[in-house]
Each structure stands twice: as structure tokens, then as C-alpha cells.
Structure 1
Amino acid sequence: MDDAAAQAGDRTEQRQVELRIVQSIADIPQEAWDRLLRPGDRPFLSWTFLEALERNGCVAPDRGWLPFHLTAWGADDDLIAAAPAYIKNDGMGDFSRDWAFGDAVQAVGGRFYPKLVVGVPFSPVTGRRILAAADLDPSVAARLLVQLAAHTAREVGLASVHVLYHSDGEAPALADAGLSQRVMVQYHWHNYDYRTPDDWLLRLRSKRRTQCRRERREPASQGIAIRTVRGQEIAGDPEHWAETAFRLYCTTCDRYMWGGRYLNREMFSDLFTLLGNEVELVVAEREDRVVAGAINLRSDTHLYGRYWGCHEQHRFLHFNVCLYHSIDECIERGVQVFEGGAGGEHKISRGFEPAPVYSSHLFMDEKLNSLLGAALERDAKRHLEGIEAWRGNRAQLG
């Protein structure tokens, strides 16, 4: 289908607004898209990252992702609001964790698929999902793009719309636009102005502190050194580090029955060539060989743990490469939050804290939308109360 357009009759801050679906981010000028970004949006919402996913075929119809980006254009054809969006017929790679959700809908005779997903493919990271020009009220941008999403969903026969892992600040605007909020739980590490790793370890309960110290000593006793490759070292030979990271990524994807190579080798080349200081590779080296590693992406304030892999199995190596080393780096570099990825209650005993993560949902069937909205509200209340209870009972971490 060509770029679909829906004319918005409202005047928004004296603007005539045109709403369009754009089916390739390459059809949106990079400068126009990136002009909507704010601090903290990069790298996941940058045009460079999203375009690389499409151009390299990681996000494509034959991979279960049909780009369907939501955009609003003002006078002089200026992009004033946008959201990355995709039509999907399953939940693979969107980290929506909606299998039970979908089963319940189908059990009562409803339709869950095809669905429109607003979010970042393969990336369960929190952040804005509705991008807006600096002089446009974010709530107005949300209303406009939800209007476009709902209108188009009905036009092309989609069953539902899902805004995944959006910021908590966007929740009220999305609710006002008619979406129901869902809350899930991740585990994030927070930097409480620690000066040294020992400052952080002292925040842990005694038993957990002893456990972490014992685990942190293991790599040295195994003859393994862990370090972070970033910046100029990557720039000096990006293809070498892209190949190193891709091989590590494949070890995990190929080891487990649920694993899937969502990203291809070409995408890794772009990650290490185009993202600059926004990509890092933690490597564990033994006898001049990389035996394990973790691919992280970063913003000015956050570190995001994305992919782990290993060529050799060593006790506690996963925790050291994926968690402890990066915590030390966050303390040294003043990074505020470390999001270690989806799931993983084991992170609590290693100093991470449960954190609410938000998504918002709209079903085209009005009766179903009402029933699920009430169920999601009850579930969100339960999760938020559980997190608050955890915080109330934890003077110390771990």
C-alpha cells in the first residue's frame, strides 16, 4: 500500500495537520525525524538505528514486521510528530509478553491479531514512543497519532494497537487518548551517587554482599580479564568488533530452542560503524581469546544490556560480564540507570530493583476493549502495589 493519509480537521495550535502512514522510515528525511528527538531518546529512537533495522532486512514483512510508521505533518510539510510502528501477526521479537493476553482474547472469541505495535523492534527498553516537535504539546501529539492508529486499524482490519515500553510520563496522554494501561516488571540498577563499587556493595544486605563479592572474584581465579571496548577502539576496527559481537550473539541464539537470530551480520556492522559512542562491547578474555561478551547500548544517562554470548562456560561469568562489570562502569562514568533487559528476578540479589514498565492498549472491538481495560487496570494495580511493598520492606538492596 502507498503512504496512506488521513486529513485531520482540527487546527492544532493554529496548524493544519495532515496525518500519514509511512511504510519505510527511509521515506522520512533523517533530519526531520531526528529533530523530534530529545535527550535520552537515542540510540533506539534515532533514524539511524531504525533505518538500519529496515535496510538490513531485520525488520521486514518476511520477518514478521511490516513498517507502518505514524506521522503528523504541519505547514510547509514539516514533520511535527512521529512514532515507530509495525504491523505484526505474532509476538515474536516485540517483547510484549502477550501470549496469555492473546490466548484469553481468542478464548472468548475475539481477535488479537493482526496488531499494530508502536515501539522499538527487539528492544524491551523504556523510553518515549510518541515523538513531538519542541513547540507541540506531547499530549496533542499522542492524541493525533492514536487517532491515526485507530482510524487506520479499522480501515485495514487490524484487531488491536499496542504502545510498548513507553515512558511513565506518556501514560496519562495515552489514557486520555483512549488506551488502557498495562504494567509489567523489569529489574533496573540505580546509581545513588556511588563513588566506588564498595559504596554500592555496602547497600546490599550482608548475605547478598558476601555472595556478590565471592562471585566477583571468580574471573580472576579463572584467568579471565573483563573490559569494555568502546569509542576509539571500536572506531579503529569496527568490522572486527562487529564480527566478534555477532559470533557471541549467535552462541546464545543457537543454543536455545526459543532463540532466534533477529539481527543479522549486516546489522552488527551498522551498529559498530554508525552508532559511535552509543554502542559498547564488554569482553571477557582468557589467554588472548574472547570467551564471552555482552553488547550494550547507551545514552547519556542510561546503559542498556542487550545481548550476551559465550564460547566457553565458566562459573559466574554471565553475572560478571552482564552485571557486575557494567555496574562498576556505571559508577565510574556516572551513568544513572542500568537496564539489564527483560525478566530476571535473579538480578534482585545482585543489587537491581523491581521497576514498573508501561504499555498501553486499544482493541477495535469495543466490548472486548472495555473488558480487557478493566482487567489490565486490576493487574496494573497489583504490580504497582507489589513494587511499593518491596520498596517498603527493603532498607537495603538484594
Structure 2
Amino acid sequence: MSEALAIKTLQSISEITEKDWNDCLETDHPFVTHQFLKALEDSGSVTAETGWMPYHLVLELDTEIVGVAPMYVKGHSQGEYVFDYSWAHAYERAGGKYYPKLQLSVPFSPVTGPRLLVPAGPDQPVRQRALLQGAQHVASELGLSSVHLTFLAENEKLLMEEAGFLIRAGEQFHWVNNEYSDFDAFLAQLSSRKRKAIKKERIGATETGLEFETVSGPEIAERHWDAFFNFYIDTGSRKWGTPYLNRSFFSLLSESLGDAIVLFMVKRDGRYIAGALNLKSRDCLYGRYWGCIEDHRFLHFETCYYRAIEYAIDHGIQRVEAGAQGPHKLARGYLPTKTHSAHWLRDPGFHDAVAEFLKAETREIDAELNYLSAHSPFRQQK
């Protein structure tokens, strides 16, 4: 690290101003903004007690802030969506202590994006490496087992490899807007069978008297959040036991980052019965949470996938990321996409063992991606 650069850590995002943090962002990615991270902390969703202790990195040049990174001391592996439980069990069986560890990520959010936040310019790579070295130094100083960066932006992957981090592959399903004029233009690119299936699902979801509405920005009221939180709690309780976010988070997020929020809400007989929460940047719509209190055929597909595609087309958004996992998204026009995370294990022997594991895992991921790509719902070009 250059002598002129200095690293410090913050145990709360409130220790840095919104302007100083956001000035380090190269994009308008909503999940790494000061507003999003502060809503997590101010609501009490992210605390040492929930296993996510803020330990954010700040890079300074003299007294000027020239880089930041969202970082947490983790007491478990929950809410990360890149699963390393097998690593933890193996290390602990060998007599090591895997937790706590360092996580550079956005809590509870499997969305690709930047993790080492440095403004564009000729010094950007040097400053990103300085942040990475800072994370390794913190791990060593605190005696932590490892450093993990999940759902990396593509341009950060090479930097991690050069720094000796292990790269782990994963998969998601993303929809790409090929300058479609409307939803029918998108459907026209699918095979006949897939096109008919989607039309059938959309008709099935809308012919039962359900009403669909899209609300964003100042249109979102507390009544929307009251309803949506009930959906979120229902889904969270069934999927992972204890939902990660509390009711306060959604109101705080709406106050500070409302223009980036898109809610697809569903009513029956004047009562909200389902909804899907999305956040947006200029070029991507990120599907995050979905829930319902009534079961209706095809409702999930319509609310989460087809409404998102329509919104992206209508607003000129290039991509829809539909969240973690889900090969069922393939038939609905969301294509398999490789994601990456980076991992540094402080114990050299453990680091080498994980490296061998990742070689085999990557081969499996690549084979699955090739298989899924070969079964694309799009028409074959002649």
C-alpha cells in the first residue's frame, strides 16, 4: 500500500456522511449506497446481535476519502447466498475456528455489483487493491479466519485473482432487454411452445379477478409497506425460519431511497394479497422479495417475472436480475448467468484445500451452465 494511503474502519455507516460515501460510487447501484446500508443499520436488521457487525473500510489520501467498502464481521454464514457451511465444518473438524470471518458484501442481497468502491480514474486499481489489502490486514489483526467478497462486479474479478484470492463460480438467471418494443416483441423471440406457455400463465394469473398495480417513489405509502411486510414475513418464515429484515427497514428505505424502489402489488376484492419488491438502477431492475397471503395459480410468475420484464421494457432498463437460484426462470426468458465471489483463507493449508474443492465445483457449475444454455427458450437463429 502506498505510504500516502491510509485505511481506517467504521463500526457504523453513520460515522461517514452520505456524500462522502456516495461520492466513491462509480455507478447508481442502489444496494451499495449509503442510504441502503444505513437503513439496514438504523432499523436494527444489521447489528452485532444479528451476526452482521459493521466494520466498513475507508481509504484516505491525506484527509480526503478516496475509497470505501461495505464490510462486516460475521458470526455465521446466514444471509449471504454463497454457501460456505461445508468449509466451516471442515475447518472446525480440523481444529480451526472459522467464525468470525470478514464479509465484504451487501447483507441479505444476492445482487451482483461493486464491492471495492473507488471513483473511476487512473488510480482506481491501486486504491481498490489498497482496500483489499486493508481487509486482509483487519482479518489478520483481529485473528479472523477469512475474507469473502460475494456477487462481484465482473471488473473486480481479475483484481481478486491477482491478489491471490480464490474465485468461486455460481449461477443466477438474468433477463436481457434486446431493445424490445413491448412484451409481445420479447415473446416473438421465444420458441412457439414457450411462447404459448407464458401466454397461458399470464391469462391464468389475471383472469381470476386479481388487480395488479405498480407503485414507486412518492406513490409508496405506509399501507403498502404494512401489506408487503406481511407477505415478506410469510415467505421468510417458510423459507429460512426467521426473516432477516424488520418492518422499520422498509419505511426507512422508502424515506431515503424511494425513487429506486418499484413495488408490484396485487389486490383481490380491494385487499392486498401479494407483492414483489424491486430496486432499480439506470440499467438493471433487481428483484428482491416476494410474498403472498393467498395462493393463486401462476401469481408468482406474473408478479415477479413478467411484470418485471414489462417494467424493464417500458422504462428502457437493460437487465432484470431475478435473485438467487431458480432454474424454473429459464422457461420464462431468464438466462443462466455465471456469478463470482472471492475468498481468502488466512490459514495457507486451508486456503490450498479450498482451492482444490473449487476446481471441481467450477467444473460442475460450467457443465450445468452449458446444459441450461443449450435449453434456452429462445428460437434458434438460422
TM-score computed with the length of structure 1 as normaliser: 0.90
State which of 2, 25, 35 in structure 1 corresponds to 2:13.
25
Q: Secondary structure at the match of 1:44?
A: helix
| Pairing of 1:100-115 with structure 2 (within 5 A) | 100-115=86-101
State which of 26, 46, 49 in structure 1 corresponds to 2:36.
49
What's 2:192 paired with? 206
> Which stretch of the first structure deviates more once superposed, 342-351 or 225-234?
225-234
Is 1:243 the counterpart of 2:230? The answer is no
Task: Tell me the CA shift for residue 56 of structure 1.
Answer: 1.4
What's 2:114 paired with? 128
CA offset digits 1:45-93 (Å, max 9, x no partner)? 1111111111111100111111111221112x11111110001121111
State which of 286, 296, 300 in structure 1 corresponds to 2:278.
296
CA distance in 1, matches of 2:377, 2:223: 45
Contact 2:169 2:340 in 1 (8 A): yes
CA distance in 2, matches of 1:351, 1:59: 34
| Pairing of 1:381-392 with structure 2 (within 5 A) | 381-384=363-366, 386-388=368-370, 390-391=372-373
CA offset digits 1:298-340 (Å, max 9, x no partner)? 1111111111111211111111111111111111111111111
What's 2:65 paired with? 79
Is 1:88 the counterpart of 2:88? The answer is no
CA distance in 2, matches of 1:315, 1:112: 44
CA distance in 2, matches of 1:37, 1:91: 27
Specify every segment of 5 or more residues in structure 1 that has no aligned partner in the other structure, as ranges. Answer: 1-7
Contact 2:167 2:342 in 1 (8 A): yes
CA distance in 2, matches of 1:231, 1:153: 39
Q: Secondary structure at the match of 2:99?
A: coil
Is 1:230 the counterpart of 2:212? The answer is no
CA distance in 2, matches of 1:127, 1:175: 17
What's 1:170 paired with? 156
Task: Tell me the CA shift for residue 104 of structure 1.
Answer: 3.6
Q: Which amino acid aligns with 1:68?
A: Y
| Change beyond 3 A, Cα 1:107–1:187 | farther
What's 1:323 paired with? 305
CA RMSD, Structure 1 to Structure 2 (Å): 1.9
> Which stretch of the first structure deviates more once superposed, 180-189 or 86-95?
86-95
Specify every segment of 5 or more residues in structure 2 that has no aligned partner in the other structure, as ranges. Answer: none
Is 1:37 the counterpart of 2:20? The answer is no
Task: Tell me the CA shift for residue 279 of structure 1.
Answer: 0.6
Task: Tell me the CA shift for residue 157 of structure 1.
Answer: 1.3
State which of 45, 65, 68 in structure 1 corresponds to 2:52.
65
CA distance in 1, matches of 2:144, 2:357: 21
Q: Secondary structure at the match of 2:324?
A: coil
CA distance in 1, matches of 2:298, 2:94: 45
Task: Tell me the CA shift for residue 394 of structure 1.
Answer: 4.1
Q: Which amino acid aligns with 1:384?
A: D
What's 2:255 paired with? 273
> Which stretch of the first structure deviates more once superposed, 385-394 or 295-304?
385-394
Contact 2:190 2:377 in 1 (8 A): no
CA distance in 2, matches of 1:265, 1:172: 39
What's 1:3 paired with? none
Q: Secondary structure at the match of 2:340?
A: strand
CA offset digits 1:241-275 (Å, max 9, x no partner)? 22222222122123x16232211111111122221
CA distance in 1, matches of 2:331, 2:106: 29
Is 1:184 the counterpart of 2:170? The answer is yes
| Pairing of 1:8-19 with structure 2 (within 5 A) | 8=1, 10-11=2-3, 16-19=4-7
Task: Tell me the CA shift for residue 194 of structure 1.
Answer: 1.1
What's 1:5 paired with? none
State which of 331, 339, 342 in structure 1 corresponds to 2:321.
339
Q: Secondary structure at the match of 2:32?
A: coil
Percent same amino acid at aligned positions?
Answer: 36
| Change beyond 3 A, Cα 1:39–1:208 | same
CA distance in 2, matches of 1:148, 1:39: 23
CA offset digits 1:103-141 (Å, max 9, x no partner)? 343344444321100000010000110001333533212
What's 1:375 paired with? 357
CA distance in 1, matches of 2:180, 2:239: 40
CA distance in 1, matches of 2:11, 2:284: 30
Q: Secondary structure at the match of 1:100?
A: helix
